[in-house]
Structure 1
Amino acid sequence: MNNGWQLGGQLVVLTACQTRGHRPPRSVAASDSAARFKMDPLQVLPKEILLRLFRTVSPEDLVTLGQLNKPWRSLARDPEIWKDVELEPDHCTVRDAVRVIRSAPKLKSLELDSEELAEQLLQSNTEVTRLDFYKYEDSPDTLKKVVRKFADRLESLELGSLSPDILDFLVETEFPKLHSLTLSGSSDDDEVISASDYSGRWQDRGPGHSTLRELALFSVDDELAPAMISLITAHRHTLAELEVGYINGEHEEQMLQAVSQCSGLSRLTLFWSDALHVLSHKLPSLRSLELEYILEDPALFLLRARQQGVEVTFDNREDLTRELRQDLLPAGLLPGLEELRLELTCVDVNQVVNAVVRCAPHLAALRTLTVSASSRWSDVVSRAVAAALPHVKLVLDMVDDSEDDSDDDSDDGSSVYEDGDVDVVLVKF
């Protein structure tokens, strides 16, 4: 353990004896002991330096330092030290998390994964501006009590389990400072949720009254989709960043219609959909786009078309597959883009790469293109982008599935996502 701090050319030493209030060993000379006791770092170091040092200490160790004596307690509980502390129970024991919650004057963010920690927070005087309930699976009543207690000061809220009851609570609660909201998890309630249940209550109060700028929606099932559509619509004037997970085909066009009304969006993350054309020329402020592709190959696409009653003949099959390829990257979304990320999972990478090449004239403002796919496609992607977009920095975030190649005898150009080591390669042009 390092017990010394360098101040100018002088080393200030804090011994274990000093920190615990014990007498120094008899073997230590009295004069030396007296000199050390006079070198109290709280008296020698400027407060700005002390605060900077204390910010490097873990939250649980800060609590321990605050138990040494009154001067140390005063410094260890300074709100300036705690204002940027993020407490995650995964990184400490439950006991330490409880000690921190009881002692900290404030926390920047707190992840609550149990009712025990939630109850401790309710009983404490700790101020929190960001709450994360992503892993919380206990009493929803306790969750609502915690959120209600901090609603006036909350800047960020993440919920991992939704139900009509929780949605009602969100609608009815005022969050005057909330700028980031993440809703994740499917409804486990049998009650059907419809857009009409919330569209009249999640009212759009205009750009001057909503503070929400970042919204992320994950694992939204059919029952929750209408409510999420209404939520996007209600905050369409202020949303700048939006992330939407996979949406069932029944609701995806309605969801995209709601997204198209968010004219101030600068960052958007979506799963690819053949309804993306709805967004064309509707998002003039968009600068960053991430699309995740989970697609079938053309043969499966044609088979699905037949199953849906679309007649597939020798004359129209090429038109059908061409239509699929052309919609992979809607040109109306591209002007003004500076960052584009393509997540290619279970998809013919050639199709998407060719779509990027065709759309090159619409990507004049693009600075960075990130492609995530199987490592077998590295050379193909690099050559195509170098030729079509020489001004763009290409980032290849590739999954190494070389160990699985021996089991894959197909050479049909399809890319299959497998778990493996991620190799990040930067190629600048």
Structure 2
Amino acid sequence: MERIEEKLKILADAAKYDVSCSSSGSKRKNTGGIGDASASGICHTYTEDGRCVSLLKILLTNHCIYDCAFCVSRKSNDVKRAAFTVEEVVELTMNFYRRNYIEGLFLSSGIFKNADFTMERLMRIVKKLRLEEKYNGYIHLKTIPGACEELIKEAGLYVDRMSINLEMPTEAGLKMVAPEKDHESVKKPLAFVQNQIQEYKAESKLIKHTPQFVPAGQSTQMVIGATPETDLEIMNVAKTFYNDYKLKRVYYSGYIPINTENSLLPQVGSRPPLVRENRLYQTDWLLRFYDFNLDEILNPKHQQLDLDIDPKLSWALRNPHYFPVDINTADYKQIIRIPGMGRQSAMKIIQSRKFGRLCEYQVKKMGIAFNRARHFMRCADTPIILGSPSMEYVKQTILQRNSNKYLKETSSAQLTLF
């Protein structure tokens, strides 16, 4: 028992660097077994509809045949090594679930011996959980690059989501820090799984009891800040992978300095680019849900995202001719381009104006960031001012208000300590 606890500590800690563990998209129901991926949870990660669910997030092993400079599990790194058996992972998962600690499993692994050897053990774990333990909870499995298609296909019948890490955004960046790897070994299994998803969906229209194959789709992850790609290059790669492989998510993981020996990598003492990571997620959201084109946000003349303001505000400041938007006459796609305006608030405006023209006091109650949005929209009672303020003035006004708000919240928090 003590040995299992030690393994769990080592392999759960090693898994924390992988951020692509969202459980969104699963609809697997309980059909008389144990667990239900569709039920609500309590912690750790969030589904697409905002529910919070808990996952047991571990590696099968942190032994690895590769020496990727950015990875804590690289073979040259002096860390404690451990490996679970197939039975240990199954037992841990079921015990954690029965105690209501988790609702699902996120399982990844270092590569030991070879890709097929590792993938075969991962497949056996998910198969044993589904068939022998009758476990119906959520399972997210990492595909091993280079594993044979037969193993990937069989594993896909038992999991909800599969993912495979692209690692670095570009091939050139990957070769700098992981010369043994290439992007082709990632693209090939992504394409294979996507083709299988489409084939099983088509078959299900003809045959009622066709088994599910990776029903929650695929995702990938890129490490940001370890190599010198621009934000434009990163988002171009993400856009391509969304289009070519119909991914559910692309995750952007800010590189945490863990390698003091490689001069090509940011060193300990440098801050992880957490703000940049956040800006990339915001850009990703604008492209997928706000009808923006990539060249509107990033282009050869503007290759890096602004770190001090969000990408929608940055776009608005660079396109003053688009504003102000009259919320009483504009369509939905125009309204959601207003900085500080979300999709739900935009729909509330569209619905509410059926009953009359909207004034500022009404819009304030709809959940928008009004102090930001007011510079870019016109309500029924907005005064007409001759000579619009410059976009630089608007930017500084917003930044100053945000700074004052932060200082006020910090002061209040400090007062509650005494």
* Fold agreement, TM-score > 0.5: no
Higher strand share: 1
Whichever of the two has the greater Rg, that structure is 1
Higher relative contact order (CA 8 A, sep 6+): 2
TM-score, with structure 1 as normaliser: 0.30
